Every structure is written in C-alpha cells, then in structure tokens.
C-alpha cells in the first residue's frame, strides 16, 4: 500500500487523479492544499486533508512524515515551490517525487515556441533535475476530457510527439508512477495520447 502526498490537491488534474487512485489502487492519500475547506474527503478511511501552502516549510515538512511519494500538481511561482519541496523532502528523508510541468520547456515541440510563459516550468524543472531526488517530471500536452487512457511518452532530448492528452491518460500514468517502484526514475517525460 503506497502512501501518496498530493500537493495542490484542488487542481483539476489532481482531483481527477485522486479519483483514479481511489478507484484503481489501495493507496492512502494526503491531500495538501490552501483553503482546505474547499475539499471534502471522498473516503475518510484512505484520504486525509491538510490545509497548507507549499511555501510553508514547517507545514510542508510535517505533511511529508510517513509518506512514500510526493505528487506535485502546482502552478504559479513554481521555482520557489520546487525549491521548497526539495528542501522539505530532504528534511523528511523522502526521495520519490512526481512533478507536473508542461510540454515545451526544452523547445521540444516541433513548430512551437513557448516563451516566458513557461519560465516557471523551465526553472522548476531545472531545480529538480539538479537535485538528488528520484524524480519524474511530466511534460503533458494540452488537457482534454476525452475518456481514452492510452498515452505515449518521449524522453528529454527527443521531439515531443502528439499534442493533446486526456486527463484519464495522464492520471493513469501518474498513478502508475506513484505506485510502481523504480519506474522512470530521474526522467523528464513528454506525455500525449498515442
Ligand atoms: N491545462 C492544460 O492543458 C495544461 C497543459 C500542460 C500543463 N499544464 C499544467 O499542469 C499543472 C496542473 O494542471 P491543473 O489543471 O491541475 O492546474 P490548476 O487547476 O491550476 O491547479 C494548480 C494548483 O496549484 C495550487 N497551488 C499554487 N500555488 C500553491 C502553493 N503555494 N501552495 C499550495 N498549492 C498551490 C493551486 O491552488 P489554489 O487553488 O489554492 O490556487 C491549484 O489548485 C499546471 O501547472 C498546469 O499549468 C496544464
């Protein structure tokens, strides 16, 4: 049974993935978010909810106690968030991080140039890549509501394949990464529907 800490748990992708964890695994979940009253626990036996900001080092480190995996589903000042996560994981003795970024951070999407709007994604990925954590960075394409859950991945250094990715496919991959020991460790993966 894997213990997963979900940061930014009120995000659209995080909520979708929480449902998938509950439906397809026996993982226990800690949902960490600002203004926690916005979320109701979907399963009080397996889901704990904690009010907190990722930039609050004390609260974040405390939330990491007795966890196996950190799944970060954030937006905004992502480099500061990444630094805070790395520091808290060190303090808590945790190694495994699944971090949601975006396609385009390495100018890897053929025919597309995403400029400064992606800087927080680039900078946070760079911080994580230089850390000693067992990270997997995901660089998804545009999210869709399609029901399909097939996905293809590309490695850093390869051109991004495809364009869109369904939330179902992305959540399927996130759940697999969090619950399968050693999968795609220290890799940054482009993700789209196949
Ligand atoms: N939509 C797309 O097509 C697409 C494509 C590629 C990548 N992405 C990226 O994938 C990521 C996840 O997507 P999403 O739809 O789940 O995003 P989202 O709905 O914007 O969720 C991001 C979450 O991060 C939380 N957050 C921000 N700063 C925080 C902090 N300091 N402490 C705690 N929580 C904090 C926000 O909390 P609050 O609710 O409290 O503000 C929000 O719930 C985003 O970065 C998004 O840009 C999206």
State the distance from the centre of ligand 1 to the C-alpha of 27, rounded, in angstroms.
22
What is the pLDDT, as a whole number, of residue 72?
99
State the distance from the centre of ligand 1 to the C-alpha of 142, rounded, in angstroms.
13
Ligand 1 neighbour 55 (Cβ under 6 A): yes
Query: Percent of the chain scored above 90 by pLDDT?
Result: 95
What is the pLDDT, as a whole number, of residue 113?
84
> E-assigned strands of the chain?
3-7, 28-33, 47-51, 69-72, 96-100, 134-140, 142-144, 152-155, 164-166, 187-192
Alpha helices in 131-181 (DSSP H): 167-179
Closest atom of ligand 1 to CA, residue 32 = 33
Residues 34-90 pLDDT 10s: 999 999 988 989 999 999 999 999 999 999 999 999 999 999 999 999 999 999 999
Q: Which of 7, 11, 141 to mutate to test the pocket of ligand 1 (most atoms within 8 A of CB)?
A: 11
Q: Which of 20, 70, 74, 174 to mutate to test the pocket of ligand 1 (most atoms within 8 A of CB)?
A: 74
What is the pLDDT, as a whole number, of residue 85?
99
State the distance from the centre of ligand 1 to the C-alpha of 162, rounded, in angstroms.
22
Mean pLDDT across 24-43: 96
Report the distance separating Cα 47 and Cα 4, nearest Å: 10
Mean pLDDT across 98-107: 98
Per DSSP bridges, beta strands 187-192 and 152-155 are antiparallel
Backbone torsions φ then ψ of 169, nearest 5 degrees:
-65, -45
State the distance from the centre of ligand 1 to the C-alpha of 73, rounded, in angstroms.
6
Average per-residue pLDDT for the chain: 97
Mean pLDDT across 185-192: 98
CB 1 within 8 A of CB 17: no
Cβ neighbour number for residue 27 with a 10 Å cutoff: 19
Residue 194 has pLDDT above 90, yes or no: no
pTM of the complete model? 0.98
DSSP, res 33: E
């Amino acid at each position: 049974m894997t213990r997963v800490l979900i940061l930014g748990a009120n995000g659209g992708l995080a909520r979708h993935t929480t449902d998938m964890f509950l439906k397809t695994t026996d993982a226990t979940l800690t949902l960490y978010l600002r203004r926690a009253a916005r979320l109701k626990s979907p399963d009080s036996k397996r889901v704990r909810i904690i009010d907190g900001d990722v930039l609050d080092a004390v609260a974040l480190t405390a939330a990491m106690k007795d966890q196996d995996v950190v799944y970060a589903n954030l937006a905004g000042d992502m480099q500061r968030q990444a630094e805070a996560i790395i520091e808290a994981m060190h303090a808590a003795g945790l190694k495994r991080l699944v971090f949601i970024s975006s396609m385009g951070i390495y100018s890897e999407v053929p025919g597309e140039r995403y400029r400064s709007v992606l800087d927080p994604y680039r900078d946070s990925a760079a911080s994580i890549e230089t850390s000693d954590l067992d990270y997997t960075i995901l660089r998804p394409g545009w999210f869709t509501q399609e029901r399909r859950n097939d996905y293809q991945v590309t490695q850093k250094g390869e051109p991004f394949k495809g364009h869109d990715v369904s939330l179902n496919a992305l959540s399927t991959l996130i759940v697999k990464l969090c619950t399968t020991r050693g999968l795609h460790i220290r890799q940054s993966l482009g993700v789209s529907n196949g």
